[in-house]
Structure 1
């Protein structure tokens, strides 16, 4: 490879990043979400062994970005389902006496701690920082040394894990 050759991905990024971000911003209504998807789109392309020859680069970028949006939608659905399952479990377990309510909450807390122990360190820390400490994605990302997109993926992973484990418990119990 000569020193004068141009990186096709760098050219693609320089020529189309702004357009893709603008398109996503209109679709999502949020500059930060759009920027995350743009970043994820180009990271996905960077991971390819070789960038294909693109006759319609914008169409290719749109398809890639749309796949990421679909994946994000599915992660959110998993998160919502996990939260609903936790709420149903808590509601089903609640009794009328204050002692039973405290006992149920403690049991749920212990169950969550056990589920957390099954996770890798970064997803577990991200979840605790978000849900217990109330930190923002940006604060968590800075503390863990990762992107906000990674923080979102960690949280989705934790919730999907908890949902799967609780679903398995309900199926057997």
Structure 2
């Protein structure tokens, strides 16, 4: 697909021509006006942030693909957030600090993640991740250091997080279902 630099007036016109349609399309899938509006905005923002945009022969198809990917990412993020909140709520219910065993498991997991980064990912992705998450550097600083665009830095980080998430999900066994307890009332009472 040929690429060119899209000017702000072109993006503005694309927004004027298609934002209403895109928002309606998203609303039909999400059933939430606020989320549909957010993802519509994010779709066009994503387009503006591209260093070079594709020549759009079918702009609605392109916008639909970008919006679909953003929608999937949003659902994944919501699932992770819900799991984190559930875990925090369980910890609050227990009202206890992590045990020595929990701390040891966390250290071991961190060691595995760092080993994973060192052996299974390319240098730029690993470096971008460590610079962002360990050193706390901005995307702009990382981009300048690595000689890439900020968009590429975001792609590196997404790649690392997806890879780690996939590896961790594969390593965690599915919980076993709890045995059903017999609550039938037709048992004869035991007499001594």
Which category describes the TM-score, using the shorter chain as reference length? Answer: 0.5 to 0.7
Q: Comparing both structures, which one devotes a greater share of its residues to helix?
A: 1
Q: 1:83 to 1:137 in 2, by over 3 A?
A: farther
- Is 2:168 the counterpart of 1:160? no
Q: Is the 8 A contact 2:11 2:48 kept in 1?
A: yes
**CA contact 1:126–1:140 (8 Å) conserved in 2:** yes
Q: How does 1:71-90 map to 2 (within 5 A)?
A: 71-78=69-76
Aligned residues: 150
2:39 and 2:70 in contact (8 A); partners too: no
Give the alignment's TM-score, normalised by structure 1: 0.61
Shift of 1:76: 4.8
Within 5 Å, give how 1:51-70 maps onto structure 2.
54=57, 60-70=58-68
Among 40, 46, 71, the alignment partner of 2:50 is 40
Secondary structure in 1 matching 2:136: coil
Q: Contact conserved, 2:128 with 2:156, CA < 8 A, in 1?
A: yes
Gap regions ≥5 residues in structure 2: 24-36, 176-192
Greater shift in the superposed pair: 97-106 or 129-138: 97-106
Aligned partners of 1:37 and 1:69 also within 8 Å: no
Counterpart in the other structure of 1:16: 10
The Cα shift of 1:82 comes to 6.0
Using structure 2 for the length normalisation, give the TM-score. Answer: 0.56
- Higher RCO (CA-CA < 8 Å; seq separation 6+): 1
Equivalences for residues 89-100 of structure 1 within 5 A: 98-100=99-101
Residue matched to 2:113: 112
Per-residue CA deviation, residues 49-102 of structure 1 (Å, 9 max, x unaligned), is xx7xx4xxxxx234313312322343454456567778989989xx96653243
Q: Which residue of 1 aligns with 2:103?
A: 102
Contact in 1 for aligned 2:143/2:153 (Cα 8 Å): yes
The alignment partner of 1:13 has SS state of: coil
Unaligned 5+ runs, structure 1? 1-7, 55-59
Q: 1:108–1:84: structure 2 CA closer, same or farther, 3 Å change rule?
A: farther
Candidates 99, 120, 123, aligned match of 1:121: 123
Partner of 2:183: none
1:140, distance to aligned residue in structure 2 (A): 1.8
In the TM superposition, residue 138 of structure 1 has moved relative to its aligned partner by: 2.0
